[in-house]
């Protein structure tokens, strides 16, 4: 697609998005008009005050800035459909919040909860459907040979060939591999067998791109031995305005996902195995704060009764306090209702031979240190409830790998176990709903890794829902 046609499409798209927001605003106002007894003709015949016009113009500008900030007018052919859906929902949600803020500042009476829900629902639905239709039309055009991007792949190693096969298998992306550029080496036989062709060597790239349609160059060279050459090619692309891409698996990592960002003006390629930030992490923290606060209020009578029973049935403090390992090995104090005799930790050494679980953790099913009320608290998991205060404080989350004592963490003999520290620890996790103390240590660690690799808000909800029956059955409690 030429730059002129692209700019025309983007201009139309911007006007369309703002028109959708205006139409959604009017639709959301229908209930308010109905309650006031005004008809649409009477409403439109009303005189528009200059301050209202300026306010609405300001909203249009804010909406446009929000849509632009979420990248809705950038090339999105490489983004999955789900990512576009999420970005649109985030953008329309922020636009709705902007209207709510304006209503509070300028006392707009018709903007209430029903209005905001209507505005968000109408704008989100229409924009989602329109973008999905547009994406489908573009996918159809690209599969028919239109709007193609011509790509030269620099390098002919297995990674380069695999990348070429992947993008060619997805015609809807609109990429056409025009060939490979590389030096003569024994691996070129694989290129020829795959019906690909070498268009030039590395020294011939400048001449080739001067006389050939090349929209993008993908660098797939091993950077350790070809850094100088790759740097020259990147400079050439920058000079001629050609898009540069490179395969990010520089260190051949298996689990780390790559993202690009900017820090203090310098572009960075970030490799991470777990969620670092973004709106899902923000929502997770907000839900932690809300739910734990509500639970503390609702369960306060149970907390008080439990504290009294502990105090009446055994000497010692009500709460058990212990240092645990948290996010990125930050140490914090965890609080539980005391279920053991006061000197329980000092007696670990004499009971070490009775440990019933593998790995560095220490657990005994019929622990002699348990108090009578402690057994009940352990079985029902009531002893865990004070950890809600740690969730409110931010040391823990409702869902996450269980925080281990410092003694257990020092016993890790494999570094992959320590990846559990890359996320905030939680009150419950996959371990909790899959047998708790009855499962082996290695399986426990594998479940923690599975949680980190597959994390989503939906997974958190499923784990929370599964924790309730697990606690009621008391399976694996110790």
Q: Looking at residue 194, what is its pLDDT? A: 58
Task: Render pLDDT for 132-167 as a digit per residue (tens, 0 to 9).
Answer: 998 888 888 888 888 888 999 998 888 888 888 888
Q: What is the mean pLDDT of the chain?
A: 82
Q: Do the bridges between strand 266-272 and strand 257-263 make them parallel or antiparallel, or are there none, so unpaired?
A: antiparallel
Per-range mean pLDDT, top range of 39-53, 307-321, 346-360: 307-321
Which tokens go with 204? 């011939």
Beta-carbon contacts of 378 under 8 Å, excluding residues fewer than 6 positions away, are 339, 370, 477, 478
In angstroms, the CA 16 to CA 167 distance is 31
**Residue 2 confidence (pLDDT) above 60:** no
Task: Render pLDDT for 47-66 as a digit per residue (tens, 0 to 9).
Answer: 556 666 788 888 899 999 99
> What are the structural domains, with CATH classification, of the chain?
3-143 (no CATH), 149-247 (3.40.50.720), 279-473 (no CATH)
Question: What is the residue whose two structure tokens read 């053991």?
Answer: 340
Per-range mean pLDDT, top range of 90-94, 415-419, 438-442: 90-94
Out of 37-51, 159-173, 185-199, least confident range: 37-51
Q: Considering only CA atoms, which of 146, 423, 154 is closest in space to residue 277?
A: 423
pTM: 0.60
Task: Render pLDDT for 112-134 as a digit per residue (tens, 0 to 9).
Answer: 888 899 999 999 999 999 999 98
Q: Considering only CA atoms, which of 427, 377, 383, 379 is closest in space to residue 401?
A: 427
């Amino acid at each position: 697609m030429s730059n002129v046609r692209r700019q025309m499409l983007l201009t139309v798209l911007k006007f369309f998005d703002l028109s959708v927001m205006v139409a959604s605003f009017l639709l959301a106002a229908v209930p308010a008009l109905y309650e006031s007894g005004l008809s649409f003709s009477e409403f439109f015949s009303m005189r528009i005050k200059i301050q209202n016009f300026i306010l609405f113009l300001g909203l249009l500008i804010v909406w446009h800035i929000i849509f632009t900030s979420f990248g809705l007018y950038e090339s999105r052919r490489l983004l999955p459909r789900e990512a576009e859906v999420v970005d649109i929902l985030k953008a329309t949600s922020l636009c709705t919040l902007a209207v709510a803020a304006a209503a509070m500042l300028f006392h707009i009476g018709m903007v209430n909860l029903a209005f905001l829900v209507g505005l968000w629902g109408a704008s989100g639905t229409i924009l989602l459907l329109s973008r999905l239709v547009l994406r489908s039309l573009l996918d159809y055009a690209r599969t028919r040979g239109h709007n193609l991007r011509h790509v030269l792949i620099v390098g002919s190693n297995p990674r380069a060939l695999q990348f070429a096969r992947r993008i060619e298998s997805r015609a809807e992306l609109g990429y056409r591999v025009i060939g490979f550029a590389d030096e003569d080496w024994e691996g070129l036989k694989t290129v020829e067998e795959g019906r690909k062709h070498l268009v030039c060597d590395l020294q011939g790239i400048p001449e080739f791109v001067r006389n050939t349609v090349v929209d993008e160059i993908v660098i797939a060279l091993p950077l350790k031995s070809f850094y100088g050459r790759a740097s020259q090619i990147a400079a050439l692309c920058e000079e001629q305005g050609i898009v540069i891409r490179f395969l990010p698996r520089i260190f051949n990592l298996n689990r780390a996902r790559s993202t690009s960002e900017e820090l203090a003006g310098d572009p960075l390629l970030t490799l991470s195995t777990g969620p670092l930030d973004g709106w899902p992490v923000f929502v997770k923290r907000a839900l932690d704060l809300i739910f734990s606060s509500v639970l503390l209020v609702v369960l306060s009578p149970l907390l008080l009764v439990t504290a009294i029973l502990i105090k009446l049935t055994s000497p010692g403090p009500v709460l058990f306090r212990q240092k645990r390992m948290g996010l990125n090995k930050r140490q914090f104090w965890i609080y539980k209702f005391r279920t053991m005799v006061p000197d329980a930790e000092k007696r670990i050494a004499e009971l070490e031979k009775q440990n019933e679980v593998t790995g560095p953790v220490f657990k005994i099913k019929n622990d002699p240190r348990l108090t009578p009320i402690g057994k009940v608290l352990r079985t029902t998991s009531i002893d865990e409830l004070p950890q809600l205060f740690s969730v409110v404080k931010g040391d823990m989350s409702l869902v996450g790998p269980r925080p281990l004592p410092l003694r257990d963490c020092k016993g890790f003999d494999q570094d992959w176990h320590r990846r559990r520290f890359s996320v905030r620890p939680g009150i419950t996790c996959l371990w909790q709903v899959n047998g708790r103390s009855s499962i082996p240590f290695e399986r426990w660690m594998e479940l923690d890794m599975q949680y980190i690799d597959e994390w989503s808000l939906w997974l958190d909800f499923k784990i929370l829902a599964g924790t309730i029956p697990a606690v009621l059955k008391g399976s694996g409690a110790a």
